Structures are given as C-alpha cells and as structure tokens.
Homo-oligomer: A and B are copies of this chain.
Amino acid sequence: MIREGFWTEVFKLQGSVTPYIAGRLIAFTLFGACAYFFFDIFKIHNGLATAHYEYIGAVLALLLVMRTNAGYDRWYEARKLWGGIVNQSRNLAQIGLIYGPQDRKWREAYARWVAAFSRSCCHSLRDEKKYNEIAQLAETVGVEETRRLSDANHMPMYVVRRVGELLKEAVEKDDLDRFYFLQAEAERARLIDHLGGCERILKTPLAAAFSIKIRRFLFLYLLFLPIAIVDAAGMITPLIVFLVAYPLLALDQIGVELENPFSKSRLNHLPLDQISDNIRSNVLASLEDLEPLVPYAESP
C-alpha cells in the first residue's frame, strides 16, 4: 500500500465524506447566519454561559470519537475475518492437495470448490443472488453449478457442503488418511465460523438507542451553538459554526460509512473482489506439481 504525501491527502476529494455532509453543513451555517442577523437587528444580548456549552460539546465529541472508534473496530474485525478466509482457504487447499488423493479429477474439483468459497461469501454478503450477478463463479465451478448456486438458499453453505462431500469421498475410498482429514475438517469449520462473523457484522447495527441519541445531541448542540456564541463572536458567528460543525458532522458520517464494510455503496468498503481473486489464483496454483527437492548438499 502506497501512502501519498501530506499535501496530496489534504486536498484529495476522492474517498472523502465531504460531499455526503455538504447539505447539512450548509444548513447549519445558514442557520448560524440567520441567528446573527436576528440578534443583531433586535439588539438582543442573551448572556448564555458559553463555558457550560463547551462542556456539552466535549461530551458530544467524546461520544462521536467513541462511535467512530467502534465503527473502525467493526471494519477492522471484518478485515480480520476476511484475512481468516484467506488463511483457511489456503490451508484447506494445501491439506487436500498434498495429503489427499492423487486422482487428477478429484484434485481439480476440490481446488475449484475451495477457491469458490470466498467469492460466494462475497456475493452472499452483498446480497447478489441472481445468475447474472454471480456469473463470474462459472469460471471457477462451471456454468451448471453456478446456476445451482444461484438457486441455493445459502450460497456459501452449498459450497461448504460440496467440499465436505469431496472430503468424505476421499476418506471413504481410503485416499485420505483420517488423521489428515481431521485437520481438513477443522479448517473447514473455521471457514464457516469466519463467514458467520461477517454475517454478524452485516446484520448487527450499532445499538439503535445509542446511535439515535448521538444524532439528536448533535442536532441540539449545533442548533443552540450560534445562539450561545453570537454575543461574543458577532459577525463571524457563521464561520465558527462552520468550523465546529464540519468535524462533528464528518465524524458522524464516517461512523455511519464504517458500519457496513461489505457494501460497494459505502466509502471504504473492503476490496472483497480482489481478495477473492487472490485466493483463487493461490489455490489453483497449488494444483501444479512440485519438482523433486534438490537437497542442500547437492546444490551447486
């Protein structure tokens, strides 16, 4: 991952949440301007103690930072679960291909179905179920099976059952030692666990009361802000409202964006397609035979 320089990042718009919050930001700034004119025309001095107002703002900021943190934790947990899918797919493929039957046909079917798991997860997490949405899978498991997948009630479980059947077949033909099988089965179970973790993240929003409350505090805070500062700030009231509202609204929106790390419609969604392609190429590459080992002593 290449990191860009300081100044580039400062002025980069792509991948920023600014466009998402522009409306609200302008609304609060305009409200700030109105408040100023209202107080200015009627010469009102409200004397609201700004010290306590700042204190409320600090609580709000702390809550927002905490929620952003929680959102980032979810996002990173999702990334870790996909890291686990990479690991377990690789392990599962290796165990089957090194210790399993030498039968060419079994090996290919096994590798293909293991490779298909990650992409089927990806489609399942994005709720893509129709044949044309998952057509890419045909390159891995063929057209006919892709059609069946699109009908399955839970795609990744269908893939996992196929892998399970292949393992069972190998064990029952005595082509796969039961001790090897134990390892393969453990990895297969962990794959299902990782998928379950992703589904949990997808289906569980932040606790609703928690989330709504933050937005309501944010609204009340920004509403009363111009009234609180107009006495002291005068003409530049809207500018200060803008400078305070910008980070707060942005933090709120970033928290929301981080909540669903799988959907393509969110900023910062994880590159699931790319990860799935990597797994596929790694796993299918393991199909190739290793040349005989050249011992150290005999190496030139």
Contacts and interface: CB of A to CB of B under 8 A. Distances in A.
A9 B196 contact: no
B59 A247 contact: yes
B68 A65 contact: no
Interface in A181-225: 181-183, 185-187, 189, 192-193, 196-197, 199-200, 202-205, 207-213, 215-220, 224
Interface in A281-299: 281-282, 285-286, 290-291, 293-299
Given A294-B142, A296-B142, A65 B59 contact: yes
A34 interface: no
A264 B205 CA distance: 18
Interface string A246-265: 11101110101111100000
Given A94-B164, A236-B48, A192 B157 contact: no
Contacts of A193: 87, 91
A10 interface: yes
Contacts of A197: 83, 87
A168 interface: yes
A244 B56 contact: yes
Q: What is the oligomeric copy number?
A: 5
A236 B145 contact: no
A26 interface: no
Contact of A1 (B15, B16, B204): B204
A298 B271 CA distance: 32
A50 B179 CA distance: 70
Contacts of A144: 294, 299-300
Given A145-B294, A187-B189, A9 B211 contact: yes
A295 B215 contact: no
Interface stretch (A35-43, A105-113, A117-125, A128-136): A105-113
A125 to B, nearest CB: 12
Contacts of A290: 161-162, 165
B208 A268 contact: yes
12 contacts: A3-B259, A9-B212, A9-B216, A49-B229, A50-B52, A58-B58, A80-B200, A94-B161, A182-B182, A182-B183, A209-B257, A209-B267
Given A10-B215, A210-B258, 18 more contacts: A1-B203, A47-B233, A50-B52, A55-B244, A56-B243, A86-B200, A87-B193, A90-B157, A95-B185, A98-B165, A108-B295, A145-B293, A145-B296, A179-B181, A180-B185, A183-B186, A208-B267, A220-B243
